[in-house]
Structure 1
């Protein structure tokens, strides 16, 4: 083609359309102080904060995450602002500490599966020989990293000690470092690693006929698992009609032989004992047995479901029964703490439609309230 035959793809006198510039990543900087992210390669003044927010699961940094909203704010100050705005300062993430090790261990197992690594030793060798991790040279552990790493090793690798630096990788604590973990997740090429929790919770709900009939109601409604995803949580029920507190130990042994080890134990028991024991003696027995259960299941979260009001207390005047019930509930709540105590504020003795003709057991509506209280309490605790 001759030079005079050249035909431009724009009109003379018009602006030449410039190619669009790449979209700017939120928080990225063009300043000289910016450092590149090892995952998206954009530059950031605070790379760690960016990675925690955008390239790690929300629970990876427990001190800056909201386990209700399943987001990580990247900084404690922003978490405080979020808590104030969204949760009216009523939310705390302290219960995440109970499950954080299991969350992270399950995440690492899933990464190993995605990368086809047979064991941790092979994963360490892979990281130390892979060029992608060269950027981790010179990385250091923060005080928070050291605290979390020591907690993780104590529970999962008790014979190992916290290394001086995360790279080269010497043990599993190094895998938790934000830079190494973000690269591993990126190399796994699995977006669900950022969103899913790979631990399944096991819940025991045990007690008297109140539990027996509430389970039956849940089965009738098709919500025996209280509407929780069975991939996240499984509930096992053990309700024994006429059960008294003295049978709790034997019931626990039955549950141990039949059910998986629990993360949560909900106990609804004690109303059948009120007519036989004074509140002081009954509370002493409750205190002793709940202490035993906590020692027997040190990693489990033990909850006491308050003794319900009744319209009729057999062999007792109604006021006497309600007084004894109130004392036991109050003392047990003080002993366990409010977070381990399940209240049922909508179940009120004066509302006859909540009770069957015997004035003791709940109607379908009453059981629906009870089931919803169980569900809401579990939702509050589980991240």
Structure 2
């Protein structure tokens, strides 16, 4: 595998050489995350989205109806069984949209994310419907691409500006 960042022309022969230890990722959310997990189990890369080759271990935590109020307890429960992850991917609060006034809801999201960040101060938190199989494929592919880019290049936005970072197998 060859990983390159076009902007800086820095390349490495293997992204796993960049990683000195296993990288843990938690993916937390509602039914979309549960569905994506179930779908990923049947895909070639499995639940680690093929990123096990560069030392990535993904923990999925998704269930139907999960709302913003459930996030804090979910994080605390995961912390009982695992060390804090390097990355947290959230797909949360969609189930709360019709139940809460927008201004209040925005403040609740901000307060909850600040709490989560205080529990996981060294973790990068990425926050961002039901999908068809093709939709799940696209979601998983984008998730894999984003995580690989974050881990290999150190950038925290995805996609980067028009494909200036890429990993080529």
With normalisation by structure 2, the TM-score equals 0.77
- How big is the shift at 1:215? 0.3
Aligned to 2:83: 260
**Counterparts of 1:266 and 1:215 in 2: how far apart (Å)?**
13
- How big is the shift at 1:69? 2.1
| Pairing of 1:120-269 with structure 2 (within 5 A) | 195=17, 197-222=19-44, 223-229=46-52, 232-269=55-92
| Pairing of 1:21-60 with structure 2 (within 5 A) | none
Looking at CA atoms only, which structure, 1 or 2, has the larger radius of gyration? 1
What is the count of residue pairs matched by the alignment?
A: 144
Identify the structure with bigger relative contact order (alpha carbons < 8 Å, sequence gap 6+): 2
Secondary structure of 2:52's partner? coil
1:236/1:259 contact within 8 Å kept: no
**Counterparts of 2:18 and 2:78 in 1: how far apart (Å)?**
29
2:51/2:148 contact within 8 Å kept: no
- How big is the shift at 1:206? 0.6
Residue from 71, 89, 108 that aligns with 1:285: 108
Aligned to 1:79: none
| Pairing of 1:270-349 with structure 2 (within 5 A) | 270-305=93-128
Q: Deviations over 1:26-84 (max 9, x none)?
A: xxxxxxxxxxxxxxxxxxxxxxxxxxxxxxxxxxxxxxxxxx528xxxxxxxxxxx627
- How big is the shift at 1:260? 3.0
- How big is the shift at 1:221? 1.3
Structure 2 segments unaligned to the other structure (5+ residues):
153-169
Aligned to 1:122: none
Aligned to 2:143: 374
Residue from 48, 63, 69 that aligns with 2:4: 69
- How big is the shift at 1:278? 1.9
1:202/1:235 contact within 8 Å kept: yes
**Counterparts of 2:81 and 2:54 in 1: how far apart (Å)?**
20
More strand by share: 2
Structure 1 segments unaligned to the other structure (5+ residues):
1-67, 71-81, 88-191, 306-359
Q: Deviations over 1:207-245 (max 9, x none)?
A: 101100000000021421011125611000000111111
With normalisation by structure 1, the TM-score equals 0.35
4+ runs deviating over 3 angstroms: none
2:23/2:55 contact within 8 Å kept: yes
